[in-house]
Amino acid sequence: MGRLSGKIAVVVGGHDGIGGAIARRFAEEGATVYATSRRAEEGDVGHGAGTLRARRVDASDVPALAAFFEAVRNEAGRVDVLAVSAGISEFATLDTIGEDHFDRTFGLNVRALLFAAKAATAIMPDGGSVVLVGSIADRIGTKGYGVYGATKAAVRSFARTWANELAPRNIRVNVVAPGPTDTAMMAATSDEVRETLTKLIPLGRMGRADEVASAALFLASEEASFITGAELPVDGGMAQV
């Protein structure tokens, strides 16, 4: 029996990259997974012991997000597990940051995450689990990624607060915090940035999306039943040693 057998899971930003890996892993472990993306081709497919239900939703559109969760409630009745992975990372140093850059980054990385968590936990039974995809950028000062790092610090703060607020319902809230991971988002950065970051990783390589998904699965499952408000780094030791 899979670790999420019979569970209803939602992965916001679950089309590709880390979010896609999380959605697939949850399905492999028996969950019915609603995976959202602005680019998703809608449809339901069996995956492992579970099912992947791709839904096209712009997470930054709060009314559309609310309508999506209402549809999940009507179809499935509840959400047992929520993972929020939707996010962007764009280079901009302090002297070049503009309002559009700030609003776009905080709009998806923080605002969308907040309202996804609000909608999901409103239909989550006691004993559910929330996994937020943060980043070790919440604690290090990578040049040109100040706004991105600030959004991830906000994610970390939300997890602490929500863990307290939802504890009476035994809903656990945790953060999985990747370091540099070999995804399309990282591929969009310069060779210089990737080389510089890799040199800072004790294990000598970037992470893989499936490695982050394994950590997210642990936090979502009953194996982490006494863990809440925590941040689990998956960074090859980059911000740990």
Q: Which residues contact 86 (CB under 8 A, 6 or more apart)?
A: 12, 13, 19, 36, 37, 59, 60, 108, 109, 112, 113, 116
pLDDT at 43 over 90: no
* pLDDT at residue 40, as a whole number: 76
Cβ atoms of residues 133 and 185 within 8 Å: no
Would 216 be classed as within a structural domain?
yes
Would 239 be classed as within a structural domain?
no
pLDDT at 193 over 80: no
Would 21 be classed as within a structural domain?
yes
Q: Which of 21-30, 127-136, 192-201 has the lowest mean pLDDT?
A: 192-201
* Nearest-angstrom CA–CA distance, 96 and 215: 35
Cβ atoms of residues 15 and 37 within 8 Å: yes
DSSP bridge partners of 207:
181
Q: What is the mean pLDDT of residues 143-147?
A: 93
Domain hosting residue 190, numbered range = 8-234
Residue 104 dihedral angles phi and psi, to the nearest 5°: -65, -45
pLDDT at 88 over 80: yes
pLDDT at 1 over 80: no
145 catalytic residue (yes or no): no
41 pLDDT band, cuts 50/70/90, is confident
pLDDT tens digits, one per residue of 150-180: 999 999 999 999 999 999 999 999 999 999 9
Domains: count for the chain: 1
Would 87 be classed as within a structural domain?
yes
Mean per-residue pLDDT of the chain: 95
197 pLDDT band, cuts 50/70/90, is confident
Q: Which residue has the higher pLDDT, 215 or 39?
A: 215
pLDDT at 185 over 90: no
**Catalytic residue from among 148, 171, 206, 233:** 148
The percent of residues in the chain predicted with pLDDT above 90, rounded, is 85
Would 111 be classed as within a structural domain?
yes
Would 1 be classed as within a structural domain?
no
The CATH number that applies at residue 82 is 3.40.50.720
* pLDDT at residue 168, as a whole number: 98
pLDDT at 120 over 90: yes
Would 241 be classed as within a structural domain?
no
* pLDDT at residue 113, as a whole number: 98
pLDDT at 186 over 80: no
Q: Residue by residue, what is the 3-state secondary structure of the chain? A: CCCCCCCEEEEECCCCHHHHHHHHHHHHCCCEEEEEECCCCCEEEEECCEEEEEEECCCCCHHHHHHHHHHHHHHHCCCCEEEECCCCCCCECCCCCCHHHHHHHHHHHHHHHHHHHHHHHHCCCCCCEEEEECCHHHCCCCCCEHHHHHHHHHHHHHHHHHHHHHHHHCCEEEEEEECCECCHHHHCCCHHHHHHHHHCCCCCCCECHHHHHHHHHHHHCHHHCCCCCCEEEECCCCCCC
109 pLDDT band, cuts 50/70/90, is very high
pLDDT at 62 over 90: yes
The candidate with the shortest Cα–Cα distance to 150, out of 162, 138, 141, is 138
Look up residue 92 and give its amino acid.
A
